[in-house]
Amino acid sequence: MRLRNITGSREIIGQSPFVLHDPEQLKGRFAKEVFGNDHEIHIEIGMGKGRFIMEMATLHPEINYIGIEKYSSVLLRAIQKMEQLETPLPNLVFIRMDAETITEVFDHNEIAKIYLNFSDPWPKDRHAKRRLPSREFLHRYEQIMAPEGILEFKTDNADLFSFALAEAPEAGWKILKQTTDLHHDTDMNQGNIMTEYEERFSSAGNKISKCVLSRVITKMILAFLMASLLLTETVKAVNTVPTEEQAAAAENRKRMRVESNELTGWPEGPLLGAESAILMEADTGAILYEKNIHARLYPASTTKLMTGLLALENSTMEDVVTFSHDSIYNIEYSSSRIGIDVGEQLTMEQCLYGLLLGSANEVAYAIAEYIGGSYDHFIEMMNERAEALGCKDTHFANANGLPQKDHYTSAYDLAIIAKECFQNDSLATIAGSTKYTIPPTNKQPEERKLDNHHLMLPGFKYEYEGVICGKTGYTSEARQTLVTLAQRGDMRLICVIMREEAPDQFLDTQKLFDYGFNQFQKMNVADNEKKYMLDAATFFRTNYDIIGSSKPILSINPNGYIVIPKISSFTDADVAITYSDHGNPDVATLTYTIDDHFVGNATIDYADNSTRTFEFANILVDSEKVIPQKVIPDHKIIFIDTNKLVIRVVFCLACIFAVLVIIYGIRRYVTSDRRRQRMKRKRFRKWNKKLF
Ligand code: SAH
């Protein structure tokens, strides 16, 4: 019994460069001939339309993949998808083969990893012997697997999973529970390939053969359709590929207003399909690009940045987290997870990799319980932290980002959360690692290999120069979300993309980084602020002496920067000064704007010897925007009003002068008086002499 192939499919398969044909050529050491000696080989048995294996081969260029598929009609679609790729995948080949014959083709101990999605045995005959996960077949896979090989079951069907577990032989290798999360955050272009193929055949004069549709074949085709339906249903929960409607909506969103494009003197930013997007300089908080940045949208897994931040702030990497029953069972089975079991123990460091690389929901839950004492308390902590950071459009209802109505944030809020997160070196390191291996645990003798889903990191498809770290997110409600940090020179840019369709979350980010790095410059305020500096500041320095210091009192903090368009110069930015009401160490802040848009600031601090002098007094004279002088309580008195200061100085000098004059006058008077008396006495003595 076999499924009828589409006419012509065998020919196409026969000529395809993506398919290995000759069983003799394949047999024995085939892998070494094709891929070389020491390459890791993964196979997918029953690869379907090739979606998963193509995604994996794209994500891991260093690993070699073989897709095995029994049915030509299915294999055809995979071939066509390979033909559509812009760049070929040299690490992937297909074989049309029945899994039953697998030991005839592969050598013993050859394969490092086997992926098995057994959506194939629909419930009616799932115990059938010749099904992919049947005990009989599993024993065959066992023979071709390396001693430390891994069999990964990926399914979102809990029943099928337990069926496979029951069938699993007590072999040396381990079955890893792997979920459909593997489909997350990938970007293969899907589309209805089958239809396209049929069209191609009909235009070439080849039609699907109808004359042979016997009753049995009709049944088989119906069964096949049912299977495809099942398959579609399976994939649906994790399907990141936009429907036509979703793609059209994204296209429409390119017409939305981009607020930053309306600023005078601002470079024109790109039009994106994202519902909202922001590009923020990480040190200054200056916003270079903004589109609908305060809209409340679903963050999806970018939520885990906050979860990670709280974990890092409230625990050490060595803390041991024990996974509770709730952490495993309160998370939707088909959602993103890395297969942790109840009672399993991971260090906080391993948890953080699971959280930020593996985007594991059960790990987010366990971290929340551990850090918060209770899950609910952790959610409160998340909301408090968000509020403290200044988030106005954020409310967290869970620790992982699974869709809930009252779980939302905005691109702006997410950028300030990310800004805080990425200042934490550990978090940035973890969120920027391309891969991580969780070593065996108390419940799991096998390693778990995790790969970052962020495809802009080094070695991935959308690799971008300067990308340091980030977090991906996807749910069918949120669509794609993406947070990324990139640095070139001293410019550190955070990009947040919300509600975009794959793979444009990466391309949008790329466009915004190009825009930021090419069109903007970061300038140090202390180095460039000439407006309030006097070259010969002796007069004012003398004044400092008057109020008791021989050093300058105030200076611009050398860490103050502004980020402005490259076409602008420092002096194009307007500056205003505001006084701190909390006092030390900063006295006031210089805030810079272009067209009333914040571009950065610098505090003015009590000076120490190392910082630049700032002639504070002159601000009143130069700037119209200055806020009137006020005396800051509990502060040293600072004379800010030049006029007052000058008047006081003049008044002091006048007083001194007056005193001097008086003293001089008195002395003169006294002196002359004495001389007169001396003269009198002299004359008196003369007369005396004359008289006697
Ligand atoms: N692994 C794919 C598809 C799973 S559906 C994915 O995760 O998307 C199972 C696939 O196995 C189907 O494409 C089916 O045609 C194929 N298949 C079923 N029995 C097989 C066998 N004995 N040998 C090889 N492939 C088989």
pLDDT at 541 over 80: no
pLDDT at 267 over 90: yes
120 assigned to active site: yes
- Confidence at residue 555, expressed as pLDDT on a 0 to 100 scale: 80
- Confidence at residue 676, expressed as pLDDT on a 0 to 100 scale: 75
Q: pLDDT confidence of 181, banded at 50, 70, 90?
A: very low
- Confidence at residue 228, expressed as pLDDT on a 0 to 100 scale: 38
- Confidence at residue 137, expressed as pLDDT on a 0 to 100 scale: 81
Tell how far the Cα of 209 is from the centroid of ligand 1, in angstroms.
23
As a whole number, the mean pLDDT across the chain is: 77
CA distance 206 to 225: 21
Residue that wins the pLDDT comparison between 516 and 205: 516
Q: pLDDT confidence of 473, banded at 50, 70, 90?
A: very high
- Residue with the two structure tokens 């990480």: 282
pLDDT at 173 over 60: no
User: Does any ligand 1 atom lie closer than 6 A to the CB of residue 96?
Assistant: no
Q: pLDDT confidence of 544, banded at 50, 70, 90?
A: very low
Closest ligand 1 atom to 231 CA: 5
Q: Among 119, 144, 221, which residue has the most ligand 1 atoms within 8 Å of its CB, making it the best to mutate?
A: 119
| Short-list 415, 317, 426, 313, CA closest to 372 | 313
Q: pLDDT confidence of 485, banded at 50, 70, 90?
A: very high
CA distance 498 to 473: 9
Q: pLDDT confidence of 136, banded at 50, 70, 90?
A: confident
Tell how far the Cα of 68 is from the centroid of ligand 1, in angstroms.
8
Establish how many alpha carbons lie within 13 A of residue 547's alpha carbon, considering only the half-sphere containing its beta carbon: 15
Each residue of 57-113: pLDDT tens digit? 888 888 889 999 988 878 888 998 898 888 888 889 999 888 988 888 887 767 888
- Confidence at residue 390, expressed as pLDDT on a 0 to 100 scale: 97
User: Does any ligand 1 atom lie closer than 6 A to the CB of residue 47?
Assistant: yes
Tell how far the Cα of 159 is from the centroid of ligand 1, in angstroms.
18
Could you give the percent of the chain with pLDDT greater than 90? 43
pLDDT (average), residues 233-248: 59
Nearest CA to ligand 1 atom 3: 48
Tell how far the Cα of 443 is from the centroid of ligand 1, in angstroms.
30
Tell how far the Cα of 75 is from the centroid of ligand 1, in angstroms.
10
User: Does any ligand 1 atom lie closer than 6 A to the CB of residue 52?
Assistant: yes
CB-CB neighbours of 206 under 10 Å: 15
pLDDT at 322 over 80: yes
pLDDT at 189 over 60: no
Residue that wins the pLDDT comparison between 326 and 119: 326
pLDDT (average), residues 470-482: 93
Residue that wins the pLDDT comparison between 614 and 504: 504
User: Does any ligand 1 atom lie closer than 6 A to the CB of residue 69?
Assistant: yes
Q: pLDDT confidence of 483, banded at 50, 70, 90?
A: very high
Write out the two tokens for 630: 């006020």
- Confidence at residue 635, expressed as pLDDT on a 0 to 100 scale: 31
DSSP 7: T
| Short-list 409, 101, 71, CA closest to 227 | 71
Inter-helix orientation angle 304-314/361-372, to 10°: 40
Q: Which of 149-158, 407-416, 424-433, 511-520 shows the lowest per-residue confidence on average (mean pLDDT)?
A: 149-158
pLDDT at 548 over 60: no
Write out the two tokens for 488: 């070139």
Closest ligand 1 atom to 115 CA: 1
Each residue of 42-55: pLDDT tens digit? 999 998 888 889 98
Q: Kindly give the pairing relationship between strand 554-556 and strand 597-606.
A: antiparallel
pLDDT (average), residues 328-335: 75
- Confidence at residue 142, expressed as pLDDT on a 0 to 100 scale: 79
Q: Among 69, 100, 101, 234, which residue has the most ligand 1 atoms within 8 Å of its CB, making it the best to mutate?
A: 69
Tell how far the Cα of 174 is from the centroid of ligand 1, in angstroms.
21
pLDDT (average), residues 605-633: 44
Each residue of 565-592: pLDDT tens digit? 999 999 999 999 887 666 566 678 899 9
User: Does any ligand 1 atom lie closer than 6 A to the CB of residue 51?
Assistant: yes
pLDDT at 543 over 60: no
CA distance 83 to 102: 26
- Confidence at residue 361, expressed as pLDDT on a 0 to 100 scale: 93
User: Does any ligand 1 atom lie closer than 6 A to the CB of residue 140?
Assistant: no
CA distance 72 to 208: 13
User: Does any ligand 1 atom lie closer than 6 A to the CB of residue 99?
Assistant: yes
